[in-house]
Amino acid sequence: MTYVCPTIAEIRAAVASGESSPEQFVIQSFDAAQASQAELHAFQYLPDTAPVNRAEAALAGVAVAVKDIIDTADMPTEFNSPAYAGRRPGQDACVVARLRAAGATILGKSVTTEFAFRHPGPTVNPWNSAYTPGGSSSGSAAAVSAGIVPLALGTQTQGSVIRPAAYCGVVGFKPTYGTIARTGVLPLAWSLDHVGLFARTVADAAYVLRLVAGTDAGDPHASHVPGTVTVEKATGRRIGMLTKQAGGALEPAQQAALDALAERLSHDGAEIVMVDLPAEIFDTPRHALTLMGVEAAITHGELVDRSPELVSAPMRELVAQGRALPATDYAMTKVLQGRMAHRFDRWLRETMALDALLVAPASGEPPRGLDFTGDASFCAPWTFLGVPAVTVPAGFGPMGLPLGAQLVGAANGDVALLDLAEWVEQRTGWKTGVAAISAQ
Amino acid sequence: MTYVCPTIAEIRAAVASGESSPEQFVIQSFDAAQASQAELHAFQYLPDTAPVNRAEAALAGVAVAVKDIIDTADMPTEFNSPAYAGRRPGQDACVVARLRAAGATILGKSVTTEFAFRHPGPTVNPWNSAYTPGGSSSGSAAAVSAGIVPLALGTQTQGSVIRPAAYCGVVGFKPTYGTIARTGVLPLAWSLDHVGLFARTVADAAYVLRLVAGTDAGDPHASHVPGTVTVEKATGRRIGMLTKQAGGALEPAQQAALDALAERLSHDGAEIVMVDLPAEIFDTPRHALTLMGVEAAITHGELVDRSPELVSAPMRELVAQGRALPATDYAMTKVLQGRMAHRFDRWLRETMALDALLVAPASGEPPRGLDFTGDASFCAPWTFLGVPAVTVPAGFGPMGLPLGAQLVGAANGDVALLDLAEWVEQRTGWKTGVAAISAQ
């Protein structure tokens, strides 16, 4: 019989009523993680016994998979790099500490691509092991998809939360830039890095956001998005759909899934508007590459010089590209990022008066094989702009693999966006189902 | 008889009681500005007739000198550069619009060094025309010092508000980075640029801050200092003095002025503590030069290429330096700026538990002649860190020129710092007196 762990809401209800103990849930997650490991490879590290957090708090009984670029005091954090084998940071990342304080149990470290960039790990897609789960937060997406844990932490610098979430048929949420502090998280490019969440439901992600949001003095990288997350709920359902996706053409099934969802939303009272993105949005991949190259060169340049054989070719190339750029290119890109974020915000909220955009999280189903984790360009513009994005499962493609629907909101409008996404989620027609690979 | 315009508090009281009309004060300021111009050269531009703002608001009757790198819709803004002769921006800078909305009258444009960098303008020190008024906000400092206006706007990228204020014997205030939006202000280096205020009293500066503070969507350059200005008043009077000034050795009279002030403050209940700055603070000039070079290259590079003969040698050199830097240097400096700002904040508030530092605003009296506007290195660290700083007049040196005392506070603690500075100001023994040059 296949075990599928309950949602956070279900765990909380069962613990509150006394029907189950927090420990039971954590042990079930731990057993599921171990049982799935040989086939799914979602975890980079699992302890020998279930590490139950006995704090009586909001997330008691909630087991969490933590992407292996996020520091944990009691487990290794190795970045999927041989250069960091056996690395044990002395303390928890800020977001991990906040989860523990809220009662969650850190179950293990989930597989990441090398340094959260391209070079893939061994995790497979739970729906079909011949396909990638997406990346770079591969293990986190797979662990939630396979019903092992109700919550996982990932990071997104281009499309590393939203894309794997869509490929694995789970909810992925990337909040406004800076909302979840990155203290203790390995940077790929701090001007673009976001900590994000994987969950089974939008409501679970929204619940956890409240517990982990907030700046931290150890995360000194300033936001180019002023202000802080407002707690306002969605007031309207005016949703823009793109005449042309930011990432390019969609597979027919992905387009059909978006269209069917839009029709249902319209039927239920949403106002669906076809819009053209401001032209400059299509330039964001080039700008993002400038920021990634330069910032990766600072983080990984020394390692590349010292031990190039321990670094993948794509990362070596990224570092070389960044090192070749003049300072004025980088500085101008930082200015453009701020300006474009402001302009997009005005375009979305004022010019178009939209509550959200409904866009594709990827071109469609995941690529076959594990070598290529998929095209991030359907997510990268929203990451560059720092605006919140959430993907919900929205059907299946011809290969029987999941498709998603991504909602993108205004900066700092995270709560309103999640509120709207919860309404959308109820109308996707998605039957949770069970992935082919899950714990026995 | 020498006219010295009243303070903002005095103007407000006279207008509120009906004793004087706002128009009277503005016309007196205008007449004083015109009368002083031949000798003082504080203004780059004055209109032909007094431009009275008739809005019945908080600053009715308050005439303001606006540094000529800050845009005004009704007057030229030429940056003290022949390349921009006759430039008329279409609209007010954000801070100008806020002042006008508050009832202030923009009297004229005050002299700046070229592009707010080194190349000086013709303004002289009101106390002795053989000496520099300091820069780059030369005309703004001189116009307040000479009793022409009660308020002037300046900008500080290294020491361009605090230093001329000290040299001219007036109050200068540079708020926390980002507090006054820079929309419509020519950047020198947006990672360092601050809009600041010149006034006759700390209370006047504090009053105006409330009216002009606030972010603006047109100022997209993010703060590396998180959070917003708190409105808390000073709670303590624990004041640190430096065993070694950030800018180097002081003239004996400047040291004596600080010591005498400290003794008086101690006598009146302040706790004076000798402290050593964290060593890294002494590296800030090098980091600031990296930011200035790269950002000036972006703003002025095209002009330097097109018409080098219209640009001063120091600015051409700055641009060339910035263009030669690799992107990684600039990116690393931006990271260091954020980290150092956080570390300084913790050092000041937690490690040392200080309410403020009492430091020199300059080495002492202003340099003789107009070619060199003085050494900014006593101010530059606080500008780099983005923390608030205020200078109050604190005596005279052997040449009969003013000396100042600078208070530096924690980021976003502007209101508390000004509150403390007002208490200090009452204890400086400074007799306002009258500068040699003032309106007849």
Categorize the per-residue pLDDT at A270 as very low, low, confident or very high, splitting at 50, 70 and 90.
very high
pLDDT tens sequence across A319-332: 999 999 999 999 99
Please, what's the b/e burial string for A66-81 (b: 16 or more CB within 10 A of its CB; e: otherwise)?
bbbbbbbbebbbbbbb
Q: Does the pLDDT value for residue A225 go beyond 80?
A: no
pLDDT at res. B1: 42
| Residue (of A142, A329, A321) closest to B297 by Cα position | A329
> Among residues A29, A36, A81, A136, which one is catalytic?
A136
Which residues of chain A neighbour B342 with C-beta distances below 8 Å? 217-218, 220
pLDDT at res. B437: 78
Which residues of chain B neighbour A332 with C-beta distances below 8 Å? 298
- Token readout for B273 is 């503590």
CATH pick for B1-439 out of 3.40.50.620, 3.90.1300.10, 3.90.550.10, 1.10.579.10:
3.90.1300.10
Q: Does the pLDDT value for residue B243 go beyond 90?
A: yes
pLDDT tens sequence across B261-312: 999 999 999 999 999 999 999 999 999 999 999 999 999 999 999 999 999 9
Categorize the per-residue pLDDT at A226 as very low, low, confident or very high, splitting at 50, 70 and 90.
very low
Q: Which residue of B has its CA nearest to A324?
A: B326
pLDDT tens sequence across B372-424: 999 999 999 999 999 999 999 999 999 999 999 999 999 989 999 999 999 99
pLDDT at res. B433: 58
- Give domain limits for chain A: 1-440
Q: Which residue of B has its CA nearest to A327?
A: B327
pLDDT at res. A224: 46
Categorize the per-residue pLDDT at B234 as very low, low, confident or very high, splitting at 50, 70 and 90.
confident
pLDDT tens sequence across B147-203: 999 999 999 999 999 999 999 999 999 999 989 999 999 999 999 999 999 999 999
Helices in B220-362 by DSSP H: which ranges?
Answer: 252-267, 284-306, 313-323, 327-346
Which residues of chain B neighbour A222 with C-beta distances below 8 Å? 222-226, 338
Categorize the per-residue pLDDT at A241 as very low, low, confident or very high, splitting at 50, 70 and 90.
very high
Q: Mean pLDDT over residues A368-372, rounded?
A: 96
Categorize the per-residue pLDDT at A433 as very low, low, confident or very high, splitting at 50, 70 and 90.
low
CB nearest to A220's CB, from B295, B322, B339: B339
> Among residues B138, B140, B160, B438, which one is catalytic?
B160
Report the side by side order of strands in the sheet with B171-174: B43-45, B105-110, B63-67, B151-156, B194-199, B171-174, B389-396, B402-408, B356-359, B238-242, B271-275
Categorize the per-residue pLDDT at A393 as very low, low, confident or very high, splitting at 50, 70 and 90.
very high
Q: Which residue of B has its CA nearest to A294?
A: B328
Which of A330, A340, A345, A351 to probe by mutation at the B interface, max B CB count within 10 Å? Answer: A330
pLDDT at res. B440: 43
CB nearest to A331's CB, from B225, B298, B338: B298
Categorize the per-residue pLDDT at B429 as very low, low, confident or very high, splitting at 50, 70 and 90.
confident
pLDDT tens sequence across A99-130: 999 999 999 999 999 999 999 999 999 999 99
pLDDT at res. B81: 98
> Among residues B29, B67, B174, B363, which one is catalytic?
B67
Active site residue B160: yes
- Token readout for B323 is 């263009």
> Of residues A217 and B298, which shows the higher confidence score?
B298
Q: Does the pLDDT value for residue A222 go beyond 80?
A: no
CB atoms closer than 10 angstroms to residue B16: 10
Instruction: Evaluate the CA torsion angle A33, A37, A42, A47 in order and state its sign.
Output: positive
Backbone angles phi, psi at A20, to 5 degrees: -135, 160
CA distances from A214 to A7, A381, B225, B350 (A): 24, 23, 15, 21
Q: Does the pLDDT value for residue A233 go beyond 90?
A: no
CB nearest to B220's CB, from A293, A325, A339: A339
Q: Mean pLDDT over residues B238-258, rounded?
A: 96
* CA distance between the termini of chain B: 6
> Of residues A434 and A354, which shows the higher confidence score?
A354
| Residue (of A128, A174, A143) closest to A376 by Cα position | A174
pLDDT at res. B218: 79
CATH topology of domain A1-440: Amidase signature (AS) enzymes (3.90.1300)
Residues 6+ positions from B261 with CB-CB distance below 8 Å: B358, B394, B405, B424, B427, B428
Average pLDDT score over chain A: 94
Task: Tell me the C-alpha distance between B365 and A34, whole Å.
Answer: 74
Torsion of CA A216, A217, A223, A226, to 10 degrees: 80
Q: Which residue of B has its CA nearest to A226?
A: B222
User: Closest Cα of chain A to B336: distance in Å?
Assistant: 9
Task: Tell me the C-alpha distance between A238 and A354, whole Å.
Answer: 5
Q: Could you tell me if A172 and A390 are in contact, meaning their C-beta atoms sit under 8 angstroms apart?
A: yes
Q: Could you tell me if B296 and B188 are in contact, meaning their C-beta atoms sit under 8 angstroms apart?
A: yes
CB nearest to B223's CB, from A222, A326, A342: A222
Q: Does the pLDDT value for residue A229 go beyond 80?
A: no
Q: Mean pLDDT over residues A420-439, rounded?
A: 81
Half-sphere exposure of A6 (CA within 13 A, CB side): 17
B328–A223 CB contact, under 8 Å: no
B226–A222 CB contact, under 8 Å: yes
